[in-house]
Amino acid sequence: MLAVDRQARDGRCRSALRDDYGTVHGGRFMHPMVKPALRRGWRDRNTVQFGVAPAHAMLLGPVDTATGSFLELLDGTRGLLLLREEARRMGLPDGHADAVVDRLAGAGLLDDATGGGPAADALRRKEAVLDRLRPDLASLSLVTCEPGGAMAGLAARRSLHVQVRGAGRVGAALAATLAGAGVGRVEVVDGGCVEPWDVAPGGLPAESVGERRDAAARRVVRGAAPDRPPRRATRPCSDDAEPGLALVVLAPRDGLAAYVPDPAAAERFVASGTPHLYVGVLEGTGVVGPLVLPGETGCAGCMERARMDRDPAWPRLLAQWRSGRGRRVPACDLALSGAVAGLAAAHALAFLDGRPPSSAGARWEVSLPGLDWHARPVWAHPACPCGAMDRAKREHSSADGGRHETMAEQQPPTESGRQGHPARLSGTWRAHV
Ligand SMILES: [Zn+2]
């Protein structure tokens, strides 16, 4: 009975769950819940399809009528003991309830309404906060294998500290999105006062024109957050890369500094090992990435050196562009800046959640008017002192022996002790739909 249509290619999800599952069956009070994020539909009398879009959809079958009814009970309101009783009452054989729950958990289709650990429990007690974050929680459940993992991930976001440098159309909206998605501390760094052209939906409001940019952005972030973060003793706006930063987002108001980032400006982030993500709009082009994992993936120095290798005139052009002192208002399509801010926030969140996105080692670009997103790789450069090339060489030379590490195993620094596994559902579990 009850076979999953596709098996995980690498088996990581299943084996990770078996470990957890032993504990669950050993006495923890799990409240199994078929992930509500996936719409359910019966393809025929014996086959149930979870999910619509192919990225996360899955088929389950054959499912007999009694088991189909039993699935309806897996809504997070019953513990395993009660579920076993209900199964017996429905005439299902001994052990059937556990087998179904086990199989669903192995397929990544099961959540635990009470799981995720103490931080998750604390978040559950904040009902109003959780109501704001419910769509994000449901979304996290789609990329989290283990029961309770989505809530644990959401709770872990609250302990993270992210710095956004730049409070223009892109930076302020991006910072607000991160705060709204539950990141506990989002700090915005910028100078000067809000200009009329900084105003953007989701970002700095029209009322803030003339106000200090950092103060206005802080208010926007506070307004977007589902609750007030705990007070901290540190300065509200620090200009230094400080330890404990999970990520720095470089969102300069002048998109040139995102399109051709100055290696000197990122030196301290590379030196301190602080992951940083570039984002901006230059002329009619939006860029998201690269997400630089210092010593692991190509940095601003790698990019600049590669460009100079290809184009001898590049340094001369760069010097002219960077020395421009005009007071011109830079081009920045409002819809484009919104799209760029949103995509960059999604990449940032993926990284913060422990699932490094495709911008690690690459840059996404989009240009008006076609608006066709495409990725360009950012290679480590042999002459760059960041060390990414050494890492690439090491990986290459050890590729044929033992377990070789990949970018996907890079985790953001966190004190939360989250219990997540690196396994993910996206792109691994699929059904034909
Ligand atoms: Zn480099």
Q: How far is the CA of 367 from the centre of ligand 1 (A)?
A: 26
Q: How far is the CA of 253 from the centre of ligand 1 (A)?
A: 23
Contact of 147 with 420, CB cutoff 8 Å: no
Q: Which residues contact 367 (CB under 8 A, 6 or more apart)?
A: 284, 285, 286
Q: From CA 112, how far away is CA 96, in angstroms rounded?
A: 19
Q: What is the CATH number of domain 1-153?
A: 3.90.930.60
Q: How far is the CA of 387 from the centre of ligand 1 (A)?
A: 7
Q: From CA 100, how far away is CA 98, in angstroms rounded?
A: 6
According to the model, what pLDDT value does residue 395 have?
A: 77
Peptide bond preceding 62 in cis form (omega within 30 of 0): yes
Q: How far is the CA of 331 from the centre of ligand 1 (A)?
A: 29
User: Helix 118-125 to helix 149-157 angle, to the nearest 10 degrees?
Assistant: 80
Q: Counting every residue, how long is the chain?
A: 433
Q: How far is the CA of 362 from the centre of ligand 1 (A)?
A: 13
Instruction: Give pLDDT tens digits for 88-125.
Output: 999 999 999 999 999 999 999 999 999 999 999 999 99
Q: What is the CATH number of domain 160-228+240-392?
A: 3.40.50.720
Q: How far is the CA of 127 from the centre of ligand 1 (A)?
A: 45
According to the model, what pLDDT value does residue 8 have?
A: 37
How does residue 399 score in pLDDT terms, banded at 50, 70 and 90? low
Q: Where are the domains of the chain?
A: 1-153, 160-228+240-392
Indicate whether 315 pLDDT > 60. Answer: yes
Indicate whether 298 pLDDT > 60. Answer: yes
Mean pLDDT for the chain overall: 85
According to the model, what pLDDT value does residue 17 have?
A: 39
According to the model, what pLDDT value does residue 29 have?
A: 72
The mean pLDDT value for 361-382 works out to 97
Q: How far is the CA of 408 from the centre of ligand 1 (A)?
A: 19
How does residue 397 score in pLDDT terms, banded at 50, 70 and 90? confident
Query: Tokens 């969140």 identify what position?
Result: 349
Among residues 77, 76, 87, 75, the alpha carbon closest in space to that of 40 is found at 75
Q: How far is the CA of 301 from the centre of ligand 1 (A)?
A: 5
State the DSSP string of 341-395: HHHHHHHHHHHHTT---TTBTEEEEEETTT---EEEE----TT-TTSHHHHHHHH
Q: How far is the CA of 311 from the centre of ligand 1 (A)?
A: 18
Indicate whether 24 pLDDT > 70. Answer: no
According to the model, what pLDDT value does residue 398 have?
A: 67
How does residue 7 score in pLDDT terms, banded at 50, 70 and 90? very low
Q: How far is the CA of 392 from the centre of ligand 1 (A)?
A: 12
The per-type count for the chain, helices as H runs and strands as E runs, is: 15, 13
According to the model, what pLDDT value does residue 230 have?
A: 56
Instruction: Give pLDDT tens digits for 192-234.
Output: 999 999 999 999 999 999 999 999 999 999 999 999 765 554 4
Q: How far is the CA of 410 from the centre of ligand 1 (A)?
A: 17
Peptide bond preceding 118 in cis form (omega within 30 of 0): no
State the DSSP string of 150-181: HHHHHHHHTT-EEEEE--SHHHHHHHHHHHHT
Indicate whether 305 pLDDT > 70. Answer: yes
Give the predicted TM-score (pTM) of the model: 0.86
Outline where 225-313 has alpha helix (H): 256-259, 263-272, 300-310
Indicate whether 261 pLDDT > 50. Answer: yes
The mean pLDDT value for 132-161 works out to 96
